[in-house]
Amino acid sequence: MISNETADPEGELLGSLRSILGPNVLIGVGLDLHGHITDTMCQAADVLIACKNNPHDDYYQTGQRVTRICLDAATKKIKPLLSRVHIPMILFGNDETSGGPLFDLNKVARDFEADGVLDISIFNVQAMLDVPDMGQVITAVTNNDPRMGAIACETLARQLLAREPEFKTDHLEIDDLWPILKQPHTNLPFAVSDFGDRVLAGATGDGVQILREAHKRPEVKAAIPVTDIHAARALQNHAVGETVQISLGGCYSQVEPINLTAVVQLHHDGRFVLDGPWLAGLQANHGLTTVLQLDRLVVVVTERPAYSQDFNFFASLELDINKFDFVVCKSGFHFKLSFAKKAIPLTIGTSGIGQYDPNRIGMRRKPVWPETDETPKISEVAHFNLNSN
Ligand SMILES: [Zn+2]
């Protein structure tokens, strides 16, 4: 998290907890692997680890792991030592863990754990953060073994830096989508990622780039979500079956809205339970929602950005994904887990704030590799051992 007041809210939170609890109470932290990990956080925590998989399906196991390490420390079976190394570098893609460089690095990390390291976490910081000292962080938790912690951190850091040229996107252009739909493929529909408008990365869900192109093609059958607070509220005044003229999209981001004539098919309160695996069982609520039908397209208008990466988003609106050529998910990664075996994932590199562009975002931080020509230096390994009892 960052806020207007501070670049490190979690560091301040952990620091406050530490000052209240004193040095003898264990603090264990389980985090998303895209975190920005600061010295302040590491100084205040005894154990600090990341989930291991991107897309994330292991938050629960991460909680179990950090709890297990803390319980062993509380019963004096171990004395945790947190070690950390930092590389001023960001990744631009190919950063999933099911294949590619991060698959290999995680295998090395698990080998270290088989040899006695309690945890190794590889933090791939979110590339668009505008905070000082950002970069890749690798942490190791050992049983008070700074030598082992240093070897593990340095080995992983060197391998991560060496694989840097592989961290590039391979997204499709929107024009690539239409021929793919016509190619022979399985009976499954496609789940299409609207990468630039992915709300799980902080985008607003009000992009209409794929909708605009799909609307030009009368043969295409698709279900497409759009967040538009004004449209979602206005649509409440129209009964099911009524034909409406509506302007959709661009209420937060700088995109041209699209004007459509459509028939109201369904109103919904926007609540549903996530199928997961990411956040499975959680109650989601995207506010007032209306499903619109126009020829072969279905447009889902939501009051707030929606968890459309989840299969139940569509199911809760009585939309059978098998009746479409594709459904659009405002998600870059997690949709692949939720739609596994139900749809074929495709990622479209649409424009929007989900796309890295330092000029548009107006970065105030110092450029980091590969934004600069200066090859990054791997930091010294720092050791944090607060609980010296
Ligand atoms: Zn993440």
User: What pTM value is reported for the model?
Assistant: 0.89
| CB 29 within 8 Å of CB 41 | yes
- Cα 71 to averaged position of ligand 1 atoms, centre (Å): 26
- The DSSP code for 316 is T
Residue with tokens 């493929």: 185
- Cα 57 to averaged position of ligand 1 atoms, centre (Å): 10
- The DSSP code for 2 is -
Examine the pLDDT at 388 and tell me if it is beyond 70.
no
The pLDDT-based confidence of 363 (bands split at 50, 70, 90) is confident
Tell me what the mean pLDDT of segment 326-337 comes to.
96
| Residue 233, pLDDT score | 98
Examine the pLDDT at 389 and tell me if it is beyond 50.
no
- Cα 60 to averaged position of ligand 1 atoms, centre (Å): 14
- Cα 124 to averaged position of ligand 1 atoms, centre (Å): 9
- Cα 54 to averaged position of ligand 1 atoms, centre (Å): 7
Q: What is the pLDDT of residues 231-282, one digit of tens each?
A: 999 999 999 999 999 999 999 988 999 999 999 999 999 999 999 999 999 9
d(CA 224, CA 336): 17
d(CA 118, CA 199): 34
| Residue 186, pLDDT score | 86
The pLDDT-based confidence of 184 (bands split at 50, 70, 90) is confident
- Cα 33 to averaged position of ligand 1 atoms, centre (Å): 6
Closest CA to 21 of 343, 387, 366: 387
- Cα 15 to averaged position of ligand 1 atoms, centre (Å): 23
Examine the pLDDT at 386 and tell me if it is beyond 60.
no
Examine the pLDDT at 377 and tell me if it is beyond 90.
yes
- Cα 31 to averaged position of ligand 1 atoms, centre (Å): 9
- Cα 56 to averaged position of ligand 1 atoms, centre (Å): 7
Map residue 211 onto helix, strand or coil. Answer: helix
Examine the pLDDT at 113 and tell me if it is beyond 80.
yes
- Cα 330 to averaged position of ligand 1 atoms, centre (Å): 15
The domain segmentation of the chain, as residue ranges, is 9-168+365-384, 174-348
Tell me what the mean pLDDT of segment 157-186 comes to.
94
Joined tokens for residue 216: 């030009």
Percent of the chain with pLDDT strictly greater than 90:
88
Alpha-carbon torsion (337, 343, 349, 352), positive or negative: negative
- Cα 267 to averaged position of ligand 1 atoms, centre (Å): 32
- Cα 98 to averaged position of ligand 1 atoms, centre (Å): 14
- Cα 25 to averaged position of ligand 1 atoms, centre (Å): 28
